[in-house]
Every structure is written in structure tokens, then in C-alpha cells.
Amino acid sequence: MLSGVTVSLILLGYVIVLAVELSRLYMRLPWRMPIVVTLASICWFLHAVYLWNLLGDAQSPAKLVPSTMYSWSHLAALIFGLVYIVLSIKRSTNAVGAFLLPLVIAMILGAAAVGSGQPFDRSEVTGSLWRPVHAGALIVGTVAVFLGFAAAMMNIAQERRLKTKRLVTKDWRLPSLEYLHAMGRSCLVVSTVSIAMGLVSGVVLNIQRNGTVNWLESGIVFCAGLLVWLVVASILEWEASRRGTSWSAYLNIASFAIVLIALTLVFSTPHGRGRMVTSSVQQTTEVLP
């Protein structure tokens, strides 16, 4: 289906959407919201088609489960893109795209950077329910951390602007501080729960596969470290919210930094690169652009 769709085309599309979003700074466009949503939806559709093609001919539902870090990374970017479209419809008067779209683009570029990994063993992918749960939970957690980071950046920009009393035009308005605090808080909770699920499912997966868990394996250590931080951050935020304030912006930025470090370390270890496949057919089902 639409075999001509490439990463470059998707990236170009998202860059155009970002340019339309940033034009809020310089000019008024009466039809900006429908333009942005239409363009973003087209980009998202092309991205979904690209991922579909990446998964090969999905003659069985099992093949729909991505089997490389590359495709999982694209899935994360796809989910984040969907979050952006939903937010740009729900908060049509706010310039959320200027903060979310660079992250969508960064995630697609990040996927290209990790793209050299070998596919996981398909039998492993389809044989156990725990692997998609493990990867899915980690992806949702990662998307939540990225979204929390975007909310944090908007929060800081909004706080600074309001403190210095720089009133902006209607077109370049950010969501209210109250909304951004709530969004940041939700992202912390969702990311904590998802990473916890990812860690637990990873442990179960290891037990299923090897009969034991290597607690010192880098992937598990990084994931556990991230979870500990997120639990601490959630407790701190809960304490702050009891006092009627919010630290979610700074906690989400720290979470984002930790996730970036953890992802870099995970991708540089065998944990994130999967195992060599045994079938040459499977090797050709997922290829890099």
C-alpha cells in the first residue's frame, strides 16, 4: 500500500505543519486550525502507512506486532503524532503544536538513529503476550514522558511570560497554567504506571524465556532506575499539589532527561537491539528506508 511513502516525505510533511504552527508568531490565518489538522492528519496517515508497510503483509494478526526497535520507535512517534492532532483540535486556539511537533520530528529522527538493530525473533514476538505488553507499556511510558516534557516547556514559557506581563496575541496563546499543571501531573502518573508495567512484564518475559532474571542486565537496571525516579517524582508532585502548587514542569524535564539517557544506554546494549532472527524471510520483512 502506497509503497512510495518514505521517512523523508513524512518528515517534510511534519516540518510544513510546524512552519504553519510557527506562523502564529507573525501572521493571522483565519483557517489555520483546519489547515493544521488536515495537514497533520495527512502526515499521520502517511506515517501509519509507512509503519504498515514496515510490518510487511499482515496476513495474520500476529504480524501486526512490530519486531524491531526501529518499528517500535516509529509506533511511539505515531502515537505522539496522534496525541498532537487530538490536542490541536481540543485546544485549537493554543499554540501547542510549536512544542509538540519538534518532539514528533525528533522521535522520527530518533527512530532512524536506532534503525540498525536486528529484528527480534518473530517466534518470540508472537509466542508470548508479554513482549508486546512489555514494549507497549514502555512506549506509552515514553510517549507520556515526552508529552510531559512538552507540557513542562509550555509551562515554563507561560510562567515566565506571565511573570514579566508580556501579553501575547490571541494566535500565540498557550494553555492556562492550571491546564499545564494538570497535564504535567497526568503525564507523570501515566508514565510511572506504564514504566512499572513495562518493568514487570519484562521480568516475566525473562523468566519465561530463560527461567531466571538477570537483575544486573543494563536494560533492567535502567528501566528500574527510571521507575524509581518516576515514583519519587510522582510523590513529590502529589505533595506539591496538596499545597496547591505544582512542580510537575521541573519533574517532567528531569524525567525526560533520564528517559533520554536510559534510551541511549538501552539502545547501545544487546537488550534494545533484539536477537538475531533465524529465518532469512523474516529478515526481509522489515527493512530500513
Partner 1 sequence: MIMHMIGCSHHQTPLHLRQRLAFSPEQANSALGSLKRRFPNVETVLLSTCNRVELYAASSDPSGVPDVGFLQNFLLDFHHLNPIDYANHMKNCSDTAAVEHLFTVASSLDSLVVGESQILAQVKQAYEMSRSHEFAGPIVHAAFQHASLVAKRVTNETEIHSRRISVPSVAISEVAAEFFERFDDKDILIIGTGEMGEEALRYLQDAGAVRVRLINRTTENARALAAKFEKEYQGALQVSVELWDNLPIRLMTADLVISTTSATEPIMTLATYKSLHAQRKKQGTQLILDLAVPRDFEEPIGNLSNVYLYSVDDLQAACDRNVDFRRQQWPLARKIISEETSRFLGDLHHRHAGPTIAALRAQANQIKQQELDRLKNRLLAQGVHDESLEEISQSFERLVNKILHPPLQSLREESTGEQQATLLMALKRLFNIKE
Residues that bind partner 1 (CB under 8 A): 158, 162-163, 165, 167, 169-170, 173-179, 182, 243-246
Nearer to partner 1, 28 or 275 (CB): 28
Residue 49: closest CA among 5, 81, 11 = 5
Closer residue to partner 1 (CB): 156 or 224: 156
| Nearer CB in complex with partner 1: 173/209 | 173
Give the whole-angstrom CA distance, residue 47 versus residue 14. Answer: 10
Q: How far is the CB of 91 from partner 1 (least distance, A)?
A: 11
Contacts of 212 (CB under 8 A, 6+ apart): 206
**Dihedral sign, Cα of residue 264, residue 266, residue 269, residue 272:** negative
Closest CB 94 distance from partner 1, rounded Å: 10
All three cell numbers of 284, joined, read 526481509
Nearer to partner 1, 169 or 279 (CB): 169
Q: Which is nearer to partner 1, 178 or 212 (CB)?
A: 178
Supply 237's cell numbers. 508532585
Q: How far is the CB of 88 from partner 1 (least distance, A)?
A: 18
172: buried, middle or exposed (CB in 10 Å: 19+, 13-18, 0-12)? middle
For residues 81-120, b (16+ Cβ closer than 10 Å) or e, as one string? Answer: bbbbbebbeebeebbbbbbbbbbbbebbebbbebbebbbb
Give the nearer residue to partner 1 in terms of CB position, either 39 or 174. 174
Would you say 216 or 243 has its CB closer to partner 1? 243
How far is 52 from 66, CA to CA, in rounded Å? 9
Q: What angle do CA 187, 190, 191 make, to 5 degrees?
A: 80
Cα 146 to the center of its chain, rounded Å: 6
Q: Which residue, 48 or 157, has its beta carbon nearer to partner 1?
A: 157
**Which alpha helices (H) appear in the chain, and where do they start and end?**
7-22, 32-54, 69-90, 97-113, 122-127, 130-163, 177-210, 218-242, 248-267, 270-273, 280-285
Record the cell numbers describing residue 122, joined without a space.
Answer: 518473530
